[in-house]
């Protein structure tokens, strides 16, 4: 089986903030349009996914988040402000996650028990992040991605889901994003690698006992080209970079769904909880699993 996830954030909100626009937090039409496409596709495929919802996006689009939940998808947390964990202190990280829980729960009516860090940014520099997540009663995390694009990542990590014990003694499940010798969970790799290689690698990971997790964003399914307004050349460039190979994500997901069962995280976590307990991996203060 593969785990299917959507990092639910508004591309324009994030890009307009990066470009310094004063109205970056304004609600636009794109996210609703993208969400419609994603929900229709998932219904079509007959699959449910886990949506890691960004708190500030839930605040701006509570009705859209509510609709995602109403369609039977699992609601998890992607933090509040999309700040990298390694750019925060333990206290500010905790405040960000707590704020996201409030925003997401108020929109969707459910309290998330799963978390994914922005840009997979729980690294060797921030092992304390798991103390915070454990303390906030999260049951699972999916912030580990063995990709060379994640600087100073915790590595090596098991490919299969594992019980992770933080320094404080708190435990949760870690469900890593799909990676073998190459990362195959989503993002740029997903768009440029040959489809046959993707399938072969995912199949091999499953044979090894992994539950490879895939991640996508609503903007990757937008039928219209992305454009960051008001950013001049920088804004145009940000859009252009994201418009390469438009349409390939949905087409590949259809193909993958025909070949593999796709499940939300909650289903996998319930199965894991029934297995005889393996010894948890302890994350040391130096950010290494032992
Ligand atoms: Zn994100």
pLDDT digits (tens, 9 = 90+) for 49-74: 999 999 999 999 999 999 999 999 99
- Does residue 191 contact residue 244 with C-beta atoms inside 8 Å? yes
Q: 149 CA distance to ligand 1 centroid (A)?
A: 14
- Half-sphere CA count of 19, side-chain side, radius 13 A: 23
Q: 82 CA distance to ligand 1 centroid (A)?
A: 6
pLDDT in tens, 179-225: 999 999 998 888 889 999 999 999 999 999 999 999 999 999 998 88
Q: 121 CA distance to ligand 1 centroid (A)?
A: 10
Q: What is the largest CA-CA distance in the chain?
A: 57
Which helix (DSSP H) or strand (DSSP E) does residue 3 occupy?
Answer: strand 2-8
Q: 78 CA distance to ligand 1 centroid (A)?
A: 7
Tokens of 88: 């925060």
Q: 153 CA distance to ligand 1 centroid (A)?
A: 17
Residues near 232 by beta carbon (within 8 Å), at least 6 away in sequence: none
Task: Give the integer Cα–Cα distance in Å for 226 and 243.
Answer: 7
pLDDT in tens, 61-120: 999 999 999 999 999 999 999 999 999 999 999 999 999 999 999 999 999 999 999 999
Q: 170 CA distance to ligand 1 centroid (A)?
A: 25
Q: 139 CA distance to ligand 1 centroid (A)?
A: 20
Tokens of 133: 């997540």
Residues near 56 by beta carbon (within 8 Å), at least 6 away in sequence: 13, 25, 80, 81, 82, 103
Q: 9 CA distance to ligand 1 centroid (A)?
A: 6
Q: In the chain, count of helices (H) and strands (E)?
A: 11, 10
Q: 237 CA distance to ligand 1 centroid (A)?
A: 19
């Amino acid at each position: 089986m593969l785990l299917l996830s959507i990092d639910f954030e508004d591309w324009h909100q994030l890009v307009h903030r990066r470009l310094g626009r004063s109205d970056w937090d304004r609600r636009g039409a794109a996210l609703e349009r993208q969400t419609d496409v994603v929900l229709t596709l998932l219904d079509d495929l007959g699959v449910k996914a886990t949506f890691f919802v960004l708190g500030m996006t839930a605040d701006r689009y509570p009705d859209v988040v509510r609709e995602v939940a109403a369609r039977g998808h699992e609601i998890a947390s992607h933090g509040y402000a999309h700040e990298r964990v390694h750019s925060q202190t333990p206290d500010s990280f905790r405040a960000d996650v707590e704020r996201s829980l409030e925003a997401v729960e108020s929109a969707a009516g459910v309290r998330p028990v799963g978390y994914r860090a922005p840009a997979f940014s729980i690294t060797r520099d921030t092992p304390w992040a798991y103390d915070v997540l454990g303390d906030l009663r999260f049951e699972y995390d999916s912030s580990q991605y063995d990709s060379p694009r994640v600087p100073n990542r915790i590595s090596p990590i098991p490919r299969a889901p594992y019980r992770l014990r933080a320094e404080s003694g708190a435990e949760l499940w870690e469900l890593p994003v799909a990676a073998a010798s190459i990362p195959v969970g989503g993002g740029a790799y997903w768009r440029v690698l040959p489809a046959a290689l993707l399938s072969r690698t995912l199949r091999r990971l499953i044979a090894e006992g992994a539950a490879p997790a895939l991640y996508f964003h609503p903007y990757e399914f937008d039928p219209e080209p992305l454009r960051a307004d008001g950013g001049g050349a920088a804004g145009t460039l940000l859009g252009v970079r994201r418009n390469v190979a438009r349409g390939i994500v949905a087409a590949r997901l259809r193909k993958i769904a025909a070949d593999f069962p796709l499940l939300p995280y909650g289903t996998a976590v319930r199965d894991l909880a029934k297995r005889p307990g393996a010894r948890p991996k302890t994350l040391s203060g130096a950010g290494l699993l032992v």
